[in-house]
Structure 1
Amino acid sequence: MRPGRISKVLAAAAALALALSACTGTPPAPEESSAAPTATEGGNVTVLEAAPFTSFNAASVTGQTATNTRIDAATHSGFTTVDNDLKIVKNEQFGTYEKVKDNPLTVKYTINDGVQWSDGAPVTADDLMLQWAALSGWYNDAVLDENFAVTSGTAYFHAAGDHSGLAQTERPVISDDGKSLTLTYTTAYSDWETALGSTVSIPAHIVAVRAGLADAPALSSVLQSVQQGDPSKQAPPNPTLRKVADFWNTGFDSRSMPNPSLALSNGPYLVKGITADQELVLTRNADYAWGEMPKLDTLTVKYESDTDKQIAALQAGAADVISLSTTQNSAARISALDALNDDGVQIQQGQGLGFDQVVLNFKGVLAPPELRQAFLHTVPRQEIIDEVARPLIADADANAEADAEVLNSFVFRPGQAPYKESSGSNGTKEFAADLVETEGIEQAKELLDGAKPTVRILYNQDDPERVAQYQLIAASAAKAGFTVADAGKNSKEWVAALKAGAFDVALYGWISNPTGSVQLPQIFRTGAVSNFNNFSNTVVDQLTEQLALNPDDAKQNALKMQIDKLVVEAGYGLPLFQRTTLSATGKHVAGVKYSPLDIGPWQSVAAWAYVK
């Protein structure tokens, strides 16, 4: 990511990585594996990750990768975690937070005595102040172009993620004892519980020294003195804040073991050593006492991008834990894992946060609503379930076929309470998955009335499941009279084509945010960063604004149901199916659990244990 970009780029980057937050569902509980073998204290477990570790700041634009985020989760802690039911779990051993006032929304965070960085320095409100500054975009006064590049003004912190919530706060207040930070929101914010992040990962006292300041309180003094940024009243860059932000942005990036001060931990494990692009070794944090205590002495992370080689390493005993991303799952790989059951390999599997979808472009050949409706009547969703989704579920799950089902909501998941009501009323039943051949094709022909429009279907040619989806959809659409142009074939730059709107139909997936609703506007609001298909509806725009302001769960669900219905009725597209998450473990490790979250099995890292 080139300099001059700020946090909105992350929303774009997240979208380009196809990681979105729509609202979340509660995944069905996975099948429990057979009785775990007896585990011991100590020992080492080896994990294979697809990409090397590159940064100790997983919240920055350059540092937010899957591997960095997983190491961050193992080496840092905070006020909350998210469990497998996608519920926020408070870690009151680390500290507490409380809503002290509703109007204006006011939240107080307090860190417990004894919580410390691995160099012995206490974790304080100064660390929270820096985190707020980085994640809020509060000081930025930059003007951005349509690609989110800075055209004028200053973008200080390049944080990866949406900052719309924390941007609506006043400057925080630190308590006299330095243990508490109080945030007051100028506008109510529904996702306030997770706005400040799940871990406290960047030590303010280290950033302060690297920026030429005496200590963390001195850094907080700078953050207290610089005025809030205003693009309409741009000011010359503050040189001290510029140094602080520049170090936060890239100062923690490293492929090899840096100065130990840049690798500080406040979580269950410490980074002991890094061999660039080869391995990273974690060791138990002996001082950690504000969360679940780790069981392993060490944890070795190695890198292998080839999923087939990961499976082979698991079979050979060269790896103890592997996790397959949703885009790496294939029927052949699932079969290969199933075949290893007799070798002591266990599979952890359940519904994930990712889902596949068909999305139609509102500009171009499908601009007329009747043509969008016609195309959607041809989408063979039941065939896609039978031929694409079911083979992606391992036989280890006794309820595999029951879990592979057509998804009938863009907003809710089958495990979430409102799903049944919303899917029954949002209009998806008009496109019954099992009636395409008998009724859908005929309805499409009637709407086309003899026309034979050419539609460009875009997809990732390197994803065999998307290729299979394309083939099924193209064949079905042709039966109704559509002429299909393959926009995915020989297109290595399909993401760029998606951004540019060079498609009429696109096949891609989103990964839902585990909690909250604030990202819905990023997809469905007119002109939003992840609105790739030019969808625009003034009522949906209004509803997404209300959603971000309303913290009441029942009212949020009512707003989401309205959005779900309006999106389907407009011919936005159709959801296809939820993807499963999958990890596998060898016979020398226990305690690894399924998780629907992006960090996958690392969610349970403190419980991992070595088995002799």
Structure 2
Amino acid sequence: MRPRPGATARLIAAAAAGILAIGTAAGCSSENQVPSIGYAVDVAVTSYNGGATAGAVGGSAMVFSRVLTGFFYTGPDGQQVADTDAGTAKEVPGEAQTIQYRLNPDGVYSDGVPTSCDDLVLAWAARSGRFTKPGDRGQVPAFDAATTAGYADIERVDCQPGSKDATVVFRPDRRYTPWRNLFTAGELMPAHVAARAANVPNVVSALQTGDPGAVQRLADFWNTGWNLGEGDLDASRFPSSGPYRLESFDAKDGLVLVANERWWGNKAETGRIVVFGRAADLKSKVADKAVSVLDIGAGSVRDLDLGAFSVDTVPGRGAEQLVLSTGGVFGSVQARRAFALCVPRQELFDRLGKTPDAPSSGLGSAPLNSRSVQQDSLFYGAVTGAADKYRSPDASGVTAQFASAGVPNPTVRIGYLGPDERRAATVAAVAAACKPAGVTVIDAGAADFSPAQLAEGKVDAVLGSTAAAPGPAGSLSAVAATGALRTGSGLNFGRFGNGRYDAITDQLAADDNSAAQLGLLTEAENLLWSEMPSIPLFATPRTIGFANGLRNGIAGATQGGSGWNMDRWVLKR
């Protein structure tokens, strides 16, 4: 059993905590531990299911990684970290790539049902892309998965129903090198709940045989059955496999997590965490000292008094970007290139993307020239040359290209989840820069905005981070970033499709040779700057704060957010 999540980072935290403890013993012995900690985030929590599109966009990984555990989780630097409390995973020799998974023998959900390989079979089936149903334009996926990356390459999952063991075998012609991104925290859902709700006695058998009726009922539940809405929460649908469990949910008053009495690992240090999402009145929550951990987009909330916090504003692993539609005003590649020519990328970085202690090189040092390659990667400088012509506006080029594309004097509606002061300022700056070229930019930010509105034609572009995420995003593996532009992906809200790009992503996942990676990444970036499905702006800046007296808080400016180790938080006052 591992001591606690994130061994390396926790050693640092433990050392710091030890120093603080000495100071407390010497002069602050009257301090008491606070039984509840408020955690403010900039996502609209909508779904418990992190593997579904709604869950991925709603920041499930940021909120539920210590509620629904998996074999790996995203650590504070964006790396995948093994969680041996949940189970172990290892690659074994064989003609086809094979991974052996073993769930912890003591693992049990908070409702008393043991964790089992049934959960892996459901996760694989839901995200494999192999199950479809009739749609308006032919067959469409039955499961609304955020991405099928990796799961689509799995040939089968060998599992005896109820067993703690599973063997995952990939297709003979495929290899998936970032396999540690599979069956991860926040995405491994309780199959027994889906089975009960869908009236499917044996999930494993139904999915392995492809029983059409059973598969469709399971898909219907998987897609929406774990959504979080207003009103009373049916606790039976939301059992936990981590140190916290879900007790209640209200969009304005918060998501309440309490210690899971059945958790078999190290018990949570604090018995109650209240997560305040986008709909909460963050200023009043902070003023009332209801918030002790803050993790939001930099500059997103104006005049926030954080005098009682230790605060850092840092460049995140997510890529702030404009995701463009491939229909409507942007139905032609020429129109998308024209718009990119009037977006003031350098100005936006200087005014809105540059953090106070921005480095001279690496992450957060300049406008971002890649959708998926991190600025501190050895590959970055070599693969991003195609971005140079789009650094500053070119009004005459914009006008000519839009006219040539048959859309003179276009109107572009940019949507984002609001309120968000920084993104509102971003849209205003784009509008000012594009106006001389005859382009009208409309701020379509709203409190109920969803990136799905791009596919619905309600907006022409989405302003967000990697994969259009409104909150924290990004990881070292860049699985979400590449998957968000893959044909048919749930996160591909702009409906971009390019067969060569899809083939490149397949090759990148299969070949970890550095020379091959460099060539493929260069080709991918050249292709994307030519096709322009999105416009990268800068590394999304994050403001992360820990209240005075909060111990073991370690900032995570990634898709997992700073809640990656919430079970270790201690607040003393």
Q: Identify whether the pair has TM-score above 0.5, normalized to the shorter chain.
A: yes
1:560 shift after superposition: 1.6
Aligned to 2:259, which of 284, 302, 306?
284
1:152-301 alignment runs, 5 A limit = 155=142, 158-163=143-148, 165-174=150-159, 178-186=163-171, 187-190=173-176, 191-199=178-186, 201-209=188-196, 218-224=202-208, 226-227=209-210, 237-238=212-213, 240-253=214-227, 261-272=236-247, 278-290=253-265, 293-301=267-275
Unpaired runs of at least 5, structure 2: 1-15, 25-30, 467-472
Distance 2:122 2:499 in 1: 37
Distance 1:471 1:67 in 2: 26
SS at 1:132's partner residue? helix
SS at 2:156's partner residue? coil
Distance 1:605 1:189 in 2: 34
Tell me which amino acid in the other structure corresponds to 1:82: T
1:100 shift after superposition: 1.7
Does the Cα contact within 8 Å between 2:556 and 2:562 map onto a contact in 1? yes
Task: Pick closer, same or farther for the CA change 1:496–1:483 going to 2, 3 Å.
Answer: farther
1:455 shift after superposition: 3.6
Does the Cα contact within 8 Å between 1:270 and 1:282 map onto a contact in 2? yes
Question: What corresponds to 2:566 in structure 1?
Answer: 605
Question: What corresponds to 2:455 in structure 1?
Answer: 499
Are 1:582 and 2:543 matched, yes or no? yes
SS at 1:75's partner residue? coil
Task: Pick closer, same or farther for the CA change 1:348–1:36 going to 2, 3 Å.
Answer: farther
Task: Pick closer, same or farther for the CA change 1:466–1:601 going to 2, 3 Å.
Answer: closer
Are 1:509 and 2:509 matched, yes or no? no
Does the Cα contact within 8 Å between 2:248 and 2:257 map onto a contact in 1? yes
1:297 shift after superposition: 2.5
Are 1:352 and 2:316 matched, yes or no? yes
Task: Pick closer, same or farther for the CA change 1:497–1:486 going to 2, 3 Å.
Answer: farther
Per-residue CA deviations over 1:144-163 (Å, capped at 9, x if unaligned) read 3359868xxxx3xx343223
Which is further off, 380-389 or 509-518? 509-518
Which is further off, 576-585 or 348-357? 348-357
TM-score (structure 2 length as normaliser): 0.76
Does the Cα contact within 8 Å between 2:430 and 2:441 map onto a contact in 1? no
Question: What corresponds to 2:470 in structure 1?
Answer: none
Does the Cα contact within 8 Å between 1:521 and 1:545 map onto a contact in 2? no
Distance 2:37 2:260 in 1: 16
1:110 shift after superposition: 1.0
Does the Cα contact within 8 Å between 2:316 and 2:541 map onto a contact in 1? yes
1:176 shift after superposition: 9.6
Task: Pick closer, same or farther for the CA change 1:36–1:67 going to 2, 3 Å.
Answer: farther
SS at 1:92's partner residue? coil
1:18-167 alignment runs, 5 A limit = 38=24, 43-48=35-40, 56-60=48-52, 66=58, 69-101=61-93, 103-138=95-130, 140-146=131-137, 155=142, 158-163=143-148, 165-167=150-152
SS at 2:270's partner residue? coil
TM-score (structure 1 length as normaliser): 0.71
Does the Cα contact within 8 Å between 2:318 and 2:559 map onto a contact in 1? no
Task: Pick closer, same or farther for the CA change 1:602–1:485 going to 2, 3 Å.
Answer: same
Does the Cα contact within 8 Å between 2:454 and 2:493 map onto a contact in 1? yes
1:87 shift after superposition: 1.4
Question: What corresponds to 1:329 in structure 2?
Answer: 300
Question: What corresponds to 2:12 in structure 1?
Answer: none
Tell me which amino acid in the other structure corresponds to 2:174: A
Question: What corresponds to 1:546 in structure 2?
Answer: 507
Does the Cα contact within 8 Å between 2:49 and 2:186 map onto a contact in 1? no
Distance 1:548 1:524 in 2: 15
1:325 shift after superposition: 4.3
Task: Pick closer, same or farther for the CA change 1:58–1:195 going to 2, 3 Å.
Answer: closer
1:73 shift after superposition: 1.8
Does the Cα contact within 8 Å between 1:457 and 1:507 map onto a contact in 2? no
Which is further off, 507-516 or 181-190? 507-516
Distance 1:552 1:357 in 2: 29
Tell me which amino acid in the other structure corresponds to 2:58: A
1:404 shift after superposition: 5.7
Task: Pick closer, same or farther for the CA change 1:121–1:470 going to 2, 3 Å.
Answer: closer
Distance 2:541 2:453 in 1: 27
1:295 shift after superposition: 0.9
Distance 2:60 2:186 in 1: 13
Tell me which amino acid in the other structure corresponds to 1:269: Y
1:182 shift after superposition: 0.8
Which is further off, 317-326 or 442-451? 442-451
Does the Cα contact within 8 Å between 2:35 and 2:271 map onto a contact in 1? yes
